[in-house]
Amino acid sequence: MDKALLHKKLPRETADKLAITVMEYCELLAGYTQTQGQMDRRYLTPEHKRTNNKIALLAQESHLHTWQDQAGNQWVRLQANQETNQRIILGSHTDTVPNGGKYDGILGVVAPLVLLKHFADNGVCFDFHVDVVGFGDEEGTRFGATLLGSSAISGKWKSKWRELVDENGVTLAQAMHSFGLDVSKVSEAQIDSNHVLAYLELHIEQGPVLEEKNLPISAVNGIAGARRFAITLEGKAGHAGTVPMGSRQDSLVAASQWIVELNKAAQNTITDEYPVLATVGKLEVYPGGVNVIPGSVGLSLDVRSINDSARDTFITDKLERLECLANAHGLRIELEETHTAQAVSCDTSFTEAMTEVVGLLTGTPLALSSGAGHDAMVLAEIVPTTMLFMRCEGGISHNPKESICTEDVSVSLSALTMFINEKVVI
């Protein structure tokens, strides 16, 4: 079989068969965990090494070229059918959060690996190299800093990261040494973006939208940028029985009113071009007595949108409203911005192409935006990047209950194949 004979989409029975292999590999690699009974695989651990080795072995069974880079990322290559240095890269991360699931990250490594094995076993190759990468760190669960693997290949690695320390006092530099790497050579992991036609990441959705729409997959148009704040409202504590209702400076009442308004305002953006998600996830009430008027309240605010200016306008508006409420209740506000990340757009033409592929396979050409961060955020800064989301049960992720179905994997494999076959052209 050559490229011309390879069906525009994988024959259904082939995709179904390969999907079973993907599920088997995910199950197999779930065994490489540092905490028995849990999915827990962190950067530069023996389990990370065993995972890289297993991916390489599986690839070598089909005579694919494999290597590990200087940041501990595992690579697999289906060589082009001609002399070229152009490549497309498919990948995701191999690390997990503690007590995580079996599919977050690894699905986006294993699914393209199985496809490459199928291509290699059937003598199929393309005018460009097709690479699969398994990034060693995305979650940041060992050293605190996230996206270390993709940062290394994108030239965004920060030399101060060598001093990061894990929970046992091991520095990143020491961990690299134990892994068989040299931290002073991480820059060698950097790729030449001029040679990359596209980066494509398959990832479970980690949210409920696809399940609600009864769809297996969607394209992804971008990754939301987030801003976070720590807010304190300072009022006056007092006796619940002696301070009249008209004389109170109750910080919790103002905070509660604001949270309800904030939620309503975010709900009202659902049908906007750029919806905003706003969350108060933490509330601390002082002094916290049953018979004491709340003197002060600490609350967190997390606001996200695929469009930074939609997000920032929303924040400015809501913080102004908070000030009004604080004045009306006689409260003082303290505000600290604790986190900022810019929104990242996926490559427009590749995302349109992927949306078309999704439409052909499912009847619904849907593109979602991602509220969670991904390696694709980093790659998008240097190469044309897009993603494919796959449904996961209940939208649950970062949890042992994470679950996917083989039928959806089959559709995802067909989508990846169509994208590579038809949408990536030199």
Which residues, 6+ apart, have CB-to-CB distance to 183 below 8 Å?
162, 172, 173, 176, 177
Shorter beta-carbon distance to Zn ion: residue 91 or 105: 105
Q: Which of 155, 115, 107 has its CA nearest to residue 134?
A: 107
Sequence-ordered strand ranges (E) for 84-216 = 87-93, 129-135, 196-204
Question: With CB under 5 A as the contact rule, which of the stretches 100-108, 146-154, 207-215, 386-394 interacts with Zn ion?
Answer: 100-108
- CA dist 403 and 414 (Å) reads 20
Shorter beta-carbon distance to Zn ion: residue 377 or 383: 377
Give the amino acid at 408: D
Shorter beta-carbon distance to Zn ion: residue 93 or 329: 93
Provide the minimum distance between the beta carbon of 207 and Zn ion in the complex, in angstroms, as a whole number. 12
Q: Return the residue of 91, 101, 105, 149 that touches Zn ion, per CB under 5 A.
A: 105
Provide the minimum distance between the beta carbon of 352 and Zn ion in the complex, in angstroms, as a whole number. 24
Residue 83 is encoded by which pair of tokens? Answer: 């002399």
Contact between 104 and Zn ion (CB under 5 A)? yes
Residues 116-145 that bind Zn ion (CB under 5 A): none
Question: With CB under 5 A as the contact rule, which of the stretches 49-57, 96-104, 258-266, 284-292 interacts with Zn ion?
Answer: 96-104
Phi, psi values for residue 65, rounded to 5°: -80, 135
Provide the minimum distance between the beta carbon of 206 and Zn ion in the complex, in angstroms, as a whole number. 7
How far, CA to CA in Å, does 240 sit from each of 135, 235, 236, 288? 56, 14, 12, 12
Question: With CB under 5 A as the contact rule, which of the stretches 102-110, 262-270, 279-287, 336-344 interacts with Zn ion?
Answer: 102-110
Question: With CB under 5 A as the contact rule, which of the stretches 104-112, 298-306, 316-324, 339-347 interacts with Zn ion?
Answer: 104-112
- CA dist 184 and 152 (Å) reads 12
Shorter beta-carbon distance to Zn ion: residue 78 or 210: 210
Provide the minimum distance between the beta carbon of 180 and Zn ion in the complex, in angstroms, as a whole number. 25
Question: With CB under 5 A as the contact rule, which of the stretches 101-109, 254-262, 315-323, 331-339 interacts with Zn ion?
Answer: 101-109
Provide the minimum distance between the beta carbon of 415 and Zn ion in the complex, in angstroms, as a whole number. 18
Cis link prior to 287 (omega < 30° from 0)? yes
Shorter beta-carbon distance to Zn ion: residue 104 or 131: 104
Provide the minimum distance between the beta carbon of 109 and Zn ion in the complex, in angstroms, as a whole number. 11
Residue 141 is encoded by which pair of tokens? Answer: 């669960």
Q: Which of 238, 266, 265 has its CA nearest to residue 251?
A: 238
Shorter beta-carbon distance to Zn ion: residue 358 or 376: 376
Provide the minimum distance between the beta carbon of 105 and Zn ion in the complex, in angstroms, as a whole number. 4
Shorter beta-carbon distance to Zn ion: residue 96 or 251: 96
Which residues, 6+ apart, have CB-to-CB distance to 87 below 8 Å?
77, 80, 128, 129, 130, 131, 195, 196, 197
Q: CB–CB of 30/39 below 8 Å? A: yes
Residue 261 is encoded by which pair of tokens? Answer: 């308004």
Residues that bind Zn ion (CB under 5 A): 104-105
